[in-house]
Amino acid sequence: MDIERVIRILKALADRSRLLIAKSLYGKPQYLEELAERLNLAPSTVSFHLKKLEQAGLVSRRRQQYYAIFFLKNSELDLSIRELIMCDFDELDLQKERIAKYKTKVLKSFFRNGKLLRIPAQKQKRWIVFEQILVEFEFGRNYPEQELNEKIIKYHDDYCSIRRSLVEENVFSREEGIYRLTENYERFRKGLSSESTKHGLKESFEQSMRDKFGVQL
């Protein structure tokens, strides 16, 4: 089900008179004049609302002699709220595309010839930069502090600030001068979801993007 169809259904039901008409038709198919009498509405009013319900695919009509009789379409009414909100939203793809463009723009702004010009002050931008640096590291490997510094300094001279941020954000664990990528970060990098990941990386770029754009990556 596409989003436009969902919107039509929800809009059609977001009216007191149309809800009353739908409820009345739920009991049995009826003629327009019968609906008007039952609901104490003008026939023109009932006709207007029936057209809205038909356009949304909730009601159909069938000719019987000189009159049209109206039916509820149970296939549409049997849809749950869950089914409606889980429809195919093209907007999600557009949001992901916008985020990808945003990342590219940030990298172009902060990198020149593979070197980081400065550490961004804004959290979201900082994490785009950190992700670029983290491609140097492998999960499951031990990194002595000197080796970690050498990998970071290839991108920026202030390796101390970057190293400290990565430890504080629970990307690296540190024990007796040895650094390792944490399991939380590895789950996060692979796009898996867990409470520990959310808490361990709550200040990360992707969490910020979810907050900013409302999209699960």
Say whether pLDDT at 198 is over 60.
no
| Model confidence, pTM | 0.48
Report which of residues 126 and 187 the model is more confident about: 126
The C-alpha atoms of residue 194 and residue 49 are separated, in whole angstroms, by 47
CATH, domain range 3-83: 1.10.10.10
| 66-78 b/e (C-beta count within 10 Å ≥ 16 → b) | eeebbebeeebee
The C-alpha atoms of residue 188 and residue 201 are separated, in whole angstroms, by 8
**H-type helices in the chain, by residue range?**
3-13, 16-27, 32-39, 43-55, 74-77, 81-85, 90-110, 123-134, 145-153, 159-168, 183-189, 195-200, 205-213
Say whether pLDDT at 205 is over 50.
no
- What residue spans define the domains of the chain? 3-83, 91-213
The owner of tokens 């991108």 is 155
3-state secondary structure (DSSP) of residue 23: helix
pLDDT tens digits, one per residue of 62-112: 988 788 999 998 777 767 667 666 665 556 667 778 888 888 999 999 999
Give me the pLDDT at residue 88, please. Answer: 58
